[in-house]
Amino acid sequence: MTMQKKKTIFTTVVLAALLAACVIVDLTLPSFHIAVTVIKKATVYALVAASMNLLNGFTGLFSLGQAGFMLLGAYAYGVLTIPVAKRASVYQYFDGGAIQFSLPEIFAGFLGDGVGGVVGMLAALLVGGILAALMAYLIGLPVLRLKSDYLAIATLGFAEILRAFFQWNALGPITNGSNLLKSYPTFSKATPYVVLAGVMIAVILLLINSTYGRAFKAIRDDEVAAEAMGINLARHKRLAFVISSFFAGIGGGMMAMYMGTIAAAPFKSSLTYEILLIVVIGGIGSISGSVIASFLYIFSSEWLLRGLDSGEFLGISAPGLFKNGFRMAVFSVIIMVIVLFFRRGIMGDKELPDLLDRRERKHKKEAAGK
């Protein structure tokens, strides 16, 4: 059996096992259980981290605008899926809002309530991704001329301006101003999140392994050499920026589903820093690393270490020590240890199936030694 076939089988088995585990969790636990919540949030973060890795890790463009594109996707999803019957109560300060239709209800008229609602939700996610990609194209025309820290500052500034813009009351009939968007449809179980994010991440991996992906890597490694090989730098940088933003927009829509309500406040710069931290911990240039780090990060911060804020942890009761804020202090120390001992992240620039190559080389060395 060739190594490529082994990798394919290994990947298929791992994905099938993870999906089966997620289905079992959904069937045995209520939707409000912390395990379901962790899977939902980690899945959203995994998708956004993979999209950021595509830009920062594989193309070498240091962008910090991810929260802004997530904001666009979240609002697009909320605005387009709030049922018409509930718009008056949601947009109570803006005469019911400017948009008087709902995508799930439009599709439900053709396909039936259940299927139509799901198709409408998926369509709204797609619209959010397209809106984020369009915005990325427009702002990419000037900002992609910048490099390194200057590009990071420009994209970070864009995200902050966008967050303030969406809270502007003049846009209230669409965004509901500084008020919450709510009453839109969500997935109560974790499996739809896993399937959606899995499909999106698979598309990102296919792109990375295509000719475009190789061009992105060439730009990251050496722009001068890449241009000498005939790669159009401006075009490929813009393409990577737009594609990354598209998936971030879809991730923002899924984030809206997870949160249940939408406001601009959570989509601040700290959210981008969280995603960047996950990319670094997982390994810059490794999609598998981003996914693994997302689940470890959310599991640790939202579940494993939560007892450190409540007075009791692992059966140890210490109200004087384990109090509000101590969890993040311990979590910060853990992150520092990981960064110190895993300089290139958990996976480095390797993907999960590449572990088979390492194992194969080890067997060959042992056989040669004998």
CB atoms within 10 A of CB 56: 25
11 shares its domain with 60? no
pLDDT tens column, 238-260: 999 999 999 999 999 999 999 99
- Exposed, middle or buried by CB within 10 Å (0-12, 13-18, 19+), for 13? exposed
Banded pLDDT at 43 (limits 50, 70, 90): very high
pLDDT digits (tens, 9 = 90+) for 151-182: 999 999 999 999 999 988 888 899 998 899 99
- CB within 8 Å of 12: residues ≥ 6 apart: none
Tell which of 267, 301, 329 closes a domain. 267
Phi then psi for residue 179, to 5 deg, are -90, 165
Q: Per the domain annotation, does 312 fall within a domain?
A: no
CA atoms within 13 A on the CB side of 131: 23
User: How many folded domains does the chain comprise?
Assistant: 2
How high is the pLDDT of residue 325?
A: 65
163 vs 356: CA distance, rounded Å: 44
- 46 and 10 in a common domain: no
95 located within any domain: yes
Q: Is the pLDDT of residue 370 over 70?
A: no
Whether 350 shows a pLDDT value over 60: the answer reads: yes
**9 plus 39 within the same structural domain:** no
Claim to verify: residue 157 and residue 222 sit in the same structural domain: yes
Do 127 and 190 lie in a common domain? yes
The model's confidence at residue 15, banded by pLDDT at 50, 70 and 90, is: confident
Rounded to two decimals, what is the model's pTM?
A: 0.91
Q: How confident is the model at residue 11 (pLDDT cuts 50, 70, 90)?
A: confident
Q: Are residues 90 and 1 in the same domain?
A: no
191-200, 294-303, 352-361: which is most confident = 191-200
**What percent of the chain shows pLDDT beyond 70?**
88
Residue pair 67/268 in contact (Cβ under 8 Å)? The answer is yes
Domain boundary (267, 282, 299) is at 267
Same domain, 139 and 201: yes
Q: Which residues pair with 312 in a beta bridge?
A: 317
- Indicate if 108 and 20 belong to the same structural domain: no
Query: Do 149 and 21 sit in the same domain of this protein?
Result: no
pLDDT per residue as tens digits for the range 123-141: 999 999 999 999 999 999 9
Range 116-151 burial, b when 16+ CB lie within 10 A, else e: bbbbbbbbbbbbbbbbbbebbeebbeebbeeeeeeb
User: What DSSP letter does each residue of 197-232 carry, written as one string?
Assistant: HHHHHHHHHHHHTSHHHHHHHHHHH-HHHHHHTT--
On whether residue 190 sits in a domain, the answer given is yes
Q: Which of 267, 284, 309 is the last residue of a domain?
A: 267
- The tokens describing 73, both together, are 């996707």
Confidence of residue 321 (pLDDT cuts 50, 70, 90): low
Q: Assess whether 26 and 45 both reside in one domain.
A: no
Task: Report if residue 180 sits inside a domain.
Answer: yes
Residue 75 lies in a domain: yes
What mean pLDDT, rounded, does the chain reach?
Answer: 86
Q: Which CA distances in Å does 306 have to 36, 228, 258, 298, 348?
A: 16, 53, 19, 11, 29
Q: What is the span of the domain harbouring residue 123?
A: 35-267
Q: Are residues 24 and 59 in the same domain?
A: no
Q: For residues 270 and 66, what is the distance between their CA atoms, to the nearest angstrom? A: 11
| 3-state SS, one letter per residue, for 235-247 | HHHHHHHHHHHHH
User: Could you tell me if residue 349 is inside a domain?
Assistant: no
318: in domain: no
Residues 202 and 107 in one domain: yes
Mind listing the pLDDT tens digit for each residue in 258-304?
999 999 989 999 899 999 989 999 989 899 999 999 999 899 888 77
Question: Does residue 240 sit within a domain?
Answer: yes
In this structure, are residues 152 and 55 in contact, taking their beta carbons and an 8 Å threshold? no
* Res 5: pLDDT: 78
d(CA 198, CA 44): 10
